[in-house]
Structure 1
Amino acid sequence: MAETEVSEVMAELAALEDAKIRAVNEKHGDDHGVNLGALRALAKRLKTQQDLARGLWDTGDTSAKLLALLICRPKAFDRAELDAMVRAARTPKVHDWLVNYVVKKNPHAEELRRAWFADPDPVVASAGWALTTERVAKKPDDLDLAGLLDTIEVEMADAPDRLQWAMNQTLAQIGIEHAPYRDRAIDIGERLKVLEDYPTAKGCTSPFAPIWITEMVRRRGEA
């Protein structure tokens, strides 16, 4: 993609920048000020453009990276590219979109899950745990669920925030999806108390694992 075309899109993003939106996002660790609805509308107009996506990602700008993740072709990235991208995704929204919109749809997802799972960088490790949560729900056959609970029990309470959040999601998913491990998952959550006091909007389910598990099981009509 020609540099001028990247520049044109960057100019559009600059025009969409809103100081109030940036101020709100910065409270959550995201350094961008573009309304996500406007960003998605721009992505819809641009459609899939892999070269442009790579060019936007390479600018290092957070809004440009988010747009890149919306217009890229997820299966077109090789393993080394995705590994480099996740290590460069330091803001929460970019990290979340990269894992959920791109890595999960890529044929190297399982290789990367295994490689990232125990990475010394907690942000990279959180991507491995996020992919593991997906496996717990959809393809758990060769996962050691008891071993995952062992690790969570020992490490989650003291894990850095983003890794702790990802591990908690895995804990909840095990409890929700796998009845034989449900009581243990709830017990771990109750003892560790991770996210017990997390502010939850009215009508939303708390991310505190015992509440989350119990509510999702209730909705399914299970015992």
Structure 2
Amino acid sequence: MAELAALEDPRAREVNARHGDDHGVNLGKLRAIAKRLKTQQDLALDLWATGDTAARLLSLLICRPKAFEQGELDRMLREARIPKVHDWLVNYVVKKSPHAEALRLAWFSDSDPVVASAGWALTSERVVKSPDGLDLPELLDVIEAEMKDAPERLQWAMNHCLAQIGIEHAELRARAIDIGERLEVLKDYPTPPNCTSPFAPIWITELVRRQQVS
């Protein structure tokens, strides 16, 4: 904890605060500490228990994803209100857990939109890697009905799922683009040069173009 405190950088904190994150540690330096520590499950649990954001991010880098029980991951997800902690927990830990599918189903329709966004993130992963058993047209129905008025983090997760359906499944691409065009979610999102807009019709079209070129 003292080492993390020594890495506090006011400029990093200012940048992170724009994204809702409350820590001032450069993530490259945090990853360097994790590389030195290697996997240490007990230390990871102790770091998580501090509640400190930088400590929790380090925890997620040195933990053993398959060591967690389903209930532990559910509790951690509900505690993870900081966007970067939430994102790393889902992507670095839950996706590698044998409980990922059970948690996807449990979280998908949760009344807490932040928890539900994790369910949608796991669903997007399945859309790409293992779509068998998913009702993709039904997912599009839900997105069409609910994405426009969804809270921000849930809206982002649903939009990501919409884009992945359009990118990965040619038979549903036209419908996915049409939904995106009609709902106009993230249409005016400021996008830096050389980055792809998160507006689903642009995102889908650009990624499909790249696949065809390669």
TM-score (norm 2): 0.98
1:150-180 CA-partner distances (Å, limit 9, x unpaired): 0000000000000000000000000000011
| Percentage of pairs with the same residue | 77
Match of 1:87 in 2: 78
Amino acid at match of 1:151: V
Distance across 2 between alignment mates of 1:82 and 1:91: 16
The equivalent residue for 1:105 is: 96
The runs of at least 4 aligned residues of structure 1 exceeding 2 Å deviation read: none
**From 145, 153, 156, the counterpart of 1:154:** 145
Superposition pairs for residues 120-199 of structure 1, below 5 Å? Answer: 120-199=111-190
- In the TM superposition, what is the alpha-carbon distance from 1:221 to its structure 2 partner? 1.3
**Counterpart-to-counterpart distance in 1, 2:189 and 2:80:** 25
Paired residue for 2:45? 54
Counterpart of 2:9 (choices 18, 26, 31) is: 18
- Shift of residue 143, structure 1, vs aligned partner: 0.1
Q: Equivalent residue of 1:113, what SS?
A: helix
State the partner residue of 1:7.
none
Paired residues in the alignment total: 213
Q: Which amino acid aligns with 2:188?
A: D
Partner letter of residue 63 of structure 1? A
Unaligned runs of 5+ in 2: none
1: CA distance, partners of 2:96 / 2:21: 24
- Counterparts of 1:165 and 1:133, CA distance in 2: 11
Deviation at 1:220, TM superposition (A): 1.3
- Superposed CA offset, 1:117-164 (max 9, x none): 000000000000000000000000100000000000000000000000
CA distance in 2, matches of 1:219, 1:42: 36
Q: What is the CA-CA distance between 1:49 and the residue it aligns to?
A: 0.2
Select which of 190, 197, 200 maps to 1:206: 197
- Is the partner of 2:56 in helix, strand or coil? helix
Cα separation, 2, equivalents of 1:66 and 1:12: 14
Query: Per the alignment, in what secondary structure is the counterpart of residue 75 of structure 2?
Result: helix
Q: What is the distance in 2 between the residues matched to 1:122 and 1:11? A: 34
CA distance in 1, matches of 2:112, 2:42: 29
Deviation at 1:116, TM superposition (A): 0.1
**How far has the Cα of 1:208 moved from its partner?**
0.4
Read off the aligned partner of 1:14 and give its amino acid letter.
Answer: A
User: 5+ unaligned residues in a row in structure 1: which ranges?
Assistant: 1-9
TM-score normalised by structure 1 residue count: 0.95
Using the alignment, how far apart are the partners of 1:115 and 1:93 within structure 2? 22
Q: Secondary structure at the match of 1:157?
A: coil
Give the whole-Å Cα distance in 2 for the aligned partners of 1:131 and 1:106.
11
Residues in 2 aligned to 1:180 and 1:21: alpha-carbon distance in whole angstroms = 44
